[in-house]
């Protein structure tokens, strides 16, 4: 059975997930999801309350993962490529405004970057969509992420529903304006 990792996207600024140039990635925030999601699995982000439960902000199938240094080298210039590997080891923070604390740095470095399949990823941002009733059991609620509760066939049903809405891609800007000090969800 294909896993579907679901969570509440508290802050949607286009950074985590990053939506630069039509490619969706998750390079910061959500370290437990980044550590456990495998290629072929799905990640779905939902609107927080007070919005009704089950509103999908984005959904994507993991294409592959990369360690933080390799990601920054391969995707240099993306807004979420914020840590550059130093020649002697360690990492240099490229954006001092983003996650300036030691705990945030540790979390960002604790898991690989997820890169999502452009042919199986939808980002709705400020124009999210309500899950259909037959998939409502996938709706995330509360803190942390969910994996349990998905049934055989849910990944195919999710992709079919998303495909019926629109072609894969970025369909709207992020819900939240970029804050002065970007935060994780």
The percentage of the chain sitting over the pLDDT mark of 90, rounded to a whole number, equals 77
DSSP 3-state percent helix, strand, coil across the chain (nearest 5): 25, 25, 50
Q: Which pTM was predicted?
A: 0.93
Give me the residue spans of the domains in the chain. Answer: 4-65+112-170
Rg of the chain in Å (alpha carbons): 16
Whether the CB-CB separation of 31 and 107 falls below 8 Å is answered with yes
Tell me the pLDDT tens digit for each residue of 115-166: 999 999 999 999 999 999 999 999 988 787 888 899 999 999 999 999 999 9
Tell me the pLDDT tens digit for each residue of 85-121: 999 988 888 888 888 888 888 999 899 999 999 999 9
Burial class (CB in 10 A: 0-12, 13-18, 19+), 60: buried
């Amino acid at each position: 059975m294909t896993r579907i990792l679901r969570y509440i996207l508290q802050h949607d600024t286009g950074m985590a997930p990053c939506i630069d140039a039509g490619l969706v990635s998750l390079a910061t925030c959500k370290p437990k999801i980044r550590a456990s999601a495998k290629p072929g699995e799905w990640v779905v982000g939902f609107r927080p309350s007070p919005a009704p439960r089950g509103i999908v902000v984005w959904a994507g199938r993991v294409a592959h993962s990369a360690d933080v240094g390799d990601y920054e080298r391969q995707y240099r210039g993306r807004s979420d490529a914020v840590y550059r590997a130093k020649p002697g080891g360690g990492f240099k923070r490229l954006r001092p405004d983003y996650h300036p604390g030691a705990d945030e740095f540790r979390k960002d470095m604790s898991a690989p970057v997820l890169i999502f399949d452009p042919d199986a990823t939808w980002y709705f941002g400020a124009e999210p969509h309500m899950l259909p009733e037959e998939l409502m059991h996938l709706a995330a609620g509360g803190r942390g992420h969910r994996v349990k509760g998905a049934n055989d066939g849910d990944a195919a049903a999710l992709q079919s529903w998303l495909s019926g809405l629109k072609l894969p891609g970025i369909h709207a800007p992020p819900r939240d304006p970029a804050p002065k000090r970007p935060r994780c969800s």
